[in-house]
Amino acid sequence: MNAARYPPSRLGDELSRRIALVPRNLASFVAALSLALAIPFAGCGDEDEPTSGDPFAEGDVALTVTLDPDGLDGPEEEMTEEVSCEEVSDDAACLAITDLEAGDFDFPPTDQPCTQLFGGPDVATLQGEIDGEDVDAELSRSNGCEIERFDAAVPLLQALFDDYEPGGAIDEPGAG
């Protein structure tokens, strides 16, 4: 802007007019840019996406689940169940699995502090696949981080093993 072209009385008016145009021009630019970026991707997507609402359409579930509610040193024998879910089912175990992902059983980062809270002698293993992803998890309730991983599996464990209550062996006389 040339100050000689605008006398001081009009300079403020000209600046106000130009500043007022910025939001309109910026909004138009952002809208045009968004549209330009969206058009090339409008037809993109996985052609095999499930459309039936079937949570297992991306990959079946096949798990071997083992539970020892009183731990490896306890008197109770460990229990093992096989779970296979290929489509939507009203089976309680399959319904519990719909809320799980293989990543739910990943170990926490090594620098993550964990409370030293004992949640019970319970141990469980899950081996197999959830939605096509491998799962090989050993779960315990030995500290806060392990309890969090274990708790992700509790709905499945309770669906498979009648009367199972996490940490229940702590309440039993002589347990622990």
What is the per-residue pLDDT across 132-145, written as a single tens digit (0 to 9) for each? 889 999 999 999 99
Highest mean pLDDT among 2-11, 148-157, 162-171: 148-157
pLDDT at 46 over 70: no
Pairwise pLDDT comparison (42 vs 174), residue with the higher score? 174
Q: Which pLDDT score, from 0 to 100, does residue 146 have?
A: 94
Q: How confident is the model at residue 89 (pLDDT cuts 50, 70, 90)?
A: confident
Q: Which pLDDT score, from 0 to 100, does residue 1 have?
A: 57
Q: How confident is the model at residue 29 (pLDDT cuts 50, 70, 90)?
A: low
What is the per-residue pLDDT across 118-166, written as a single tens digit (0 to 9) for each? 999 999 999 999 888 899 999 999 999 999 999 999 999 999 999 999 9
Q: Which pLDDT score, from 0 to 100, does residue 169 have?
A: 79
Per-domain residue ranges for the chain?
8-41, 61-170
Whole-angstrom distance, CA of residue 86 vs CA of residue 79: 23
Q: Which pLDDT score, from 0 to 100, does residue 168 have?
A: 83
